[in-house]
Amino acid sequence: MKDKNIKVILVEDDPFWQKNISMYIEKEADDIEVIKIVDSKEKVLEIVENESQIDIVLMDINLTAANLDGIEIIEILSKQKIKAIALTSISEQDVIVDSFESGAVNYINKSSIYDIILAIREAVEGRNQIHSDAAGALLGKMREEKKLRSLTSSEREVYNLEKKGYKKSDIAERLYKTIDTIKKHSRSWRRKLNA
């Protein structure tokens, strides 16, 4: 039996997934060891501060009342050069993209548990193959970004604020422009993006 030289922390608040993910890794991978299982961001940050060898953190995105605090932790880990794989049941494009922008090396849906071992090994070796659970969202984001490059800076400002849910009157006030100007920019970005 090989020495378990890849050290993993599992950050997961659901006992069902804690048990199933850690058991699967321990059973199927003789080179990977789940050294800790924690259920909160405070605990993972404490371990990271005190543990010298961590190769990968498997990071649940939704801890504590589904507020996406896993993304915040991924960003903190990334700044400390600790690799994190987002492990979640969320499939929304924005959450996937935010995870990667925060520093995740991969994004795997919990239903793809059988792909976790390969993802861990690839991340440790620096060969980050984007999992199919995330690939569509990233391609969609790239296509969206390409379209957005056709917008003027004013159209882009209005687009971003409208995407965040601001009303045209609020946008006008925020950007110190007339409501007619905001409506014009809004029509223009919609036409350019076929929205």
- Residue 106: which CATH number? 3.40.50.2300
Q: At what angle do helices 93-101 and 69-79 cross, to 10 degrees?
A: 20
Same domain? For 126 and 156 the reply is no
Q: Do 99 and 123 contact (CB within 8 A), yes or no? A: no
pLDDT for 1: 41
pTM of the model: 0.72
- Is residue 96 in a domain? yes
pLDDT for 145: 79
Counted domains in the chain = 2
Average pLDDT, consecutive stretches of 10 residues, N- to C-terminus, the chain (195 residues)? 77 92 92 91 85 88 73 91 88 85 90 88 85 76 81 91 91 93 93 83
- Is residue 185 in a domain? yes
- Residue-range definition of the domain harbouring residue 159: 150-192
Same domain? For 112 and 180 the reply is no
As given in the structure block, the two tokens for residue 81 are: 């050069």
